[in-house]
Amino acid sequence: MQHGRGTVQFKTCDPAKGGMEPTRQIIAIGGTTTQQDVALYPYILAQARRSMPRVGFLPTASGDADAFIEKFYEHFSRLACEPSHLKLFDRVPDLEKYISAQDIILVSGGNTKSMLALWKEWQLDVLLRRAWESGTVLSGFSAGAICWFSEGLSDAWAHQLSAVPGLDLIAGSCCPHYNNEAERRPVFQELIARGEMRPGIGIDDGAAVHFLDSRATAVVTARTQAEAYAVGLRDGKVFETPLEGKRIAVGTGHQYGCKAH
């Protein structure tokens, strides 16, 4: 594997929007596994169109686990927002009405393959794309990060890490927990080297990549060592390089309220 800065798969951008055309935003989080990592949440809120945004939590990948829902409210009830959640393993409300009412959608970790299958059955994939195109901020951690890409590296299978197709809002692949779970990085690189996954990005726990119109503009970190990487092929060999873009540190002693656009 080669290290170094060079051309990467995802470029930075600062799109100049005319009129009232909404900016399409996705904030993909590698993982939120420590208390430090929740410092990423105020940053997400700051990107919304309203100062008191409506945040809809989709815990589908966890099987709508109560523990995930309780954690969501534990964190977001302390912030300036209107939190709510959507269950699909219960009586399902009017999905179009619910999704269109949100300023931010936050997707949990869990089983990506099962989540996407259920979303497609309920046509949530269509509604989420429509919301994104209308200016709703899409975000999520782990499964909730890789679902927005063409494909992602998933542990949906108990015995192996494998590629799963995503919603293709962002071209390329994504690997969460990149430097935090021992098998993730080597498997991701091996699959790219064999042509079984597209070039893409690896995101550490405690890091998030902010995309505007499907292009990476910033890497947001809640930990000192957290990073995001472009991973691809050059002259038949895998290369890894820190993802291009603005670096924004959040947490104690840092300001949350800056927008990446």
CATH of the domain at 117: 3.40.50.880
* Backbone phi, psi, residue 221, to 5°: -130, 140
* Backbone phi, psi, residue 34, to 5°: -130, 165
pLDDT string in tens for the chain (261-residue length): 443 333 233 333 333 344 457 799 999 999 999 999 999 999 999 999 999 999 999 999 999 999 999 999 999 999 999 999 999 999 999 999 999 999 999 999 999 999 999 999 999 999 999 999 999 999 999 999 999 999 999 988 888 999 999 999 999 999 999 999 999 999 999 999 999 999 999 999 999 999 999 999 999 999 999 999 999 999 989 999 999 999 999 986 344 444 554
Q: How many domains does the chain have?
A: 1
| Active-site option among 62, 142, 154, 214 | 142
Mapped onto helix, strand or coil, the DSSP state of residue 120 is helix
The tokens describing 113, both together, are 């393959």
Mapped onto helix, strand or coil, the DSSP state of residue 95 is helix
Residue 157 in any domain: the answer is yes
Please check whether residue 165 is in contact with residue 21, taking contact to mean a CB–CB distance below 8 angstroms: no
Q: Which residues contact 221 (CB under 8 A, 6 or more apart)?
A: 206, 207, 208, 227, 247, 248, 249, 250
The pTM score is 0.89
Range of the domain at 175: 2-7+25-249
Residue 42 in any domain: the answer is yes
Instruction: Assess whether 85 carries a catalytic annotation.
Output: no
The tokens describing 191, both together, are 């699959």
Mapped onto helix, strand or coil, the DSSP state of residue 79 is coil
Residue 256 in any domain: the answer is no
pLDDT in the model for residue 53:
98
Instruction: Assess whether 142 carries a catalytic annotation.
Output: yes
| Active-site option among 62, 108, 154, 177 | 177
Residue 18 in any domain: the answer is no
pLDDT in the model for residue 132:
98
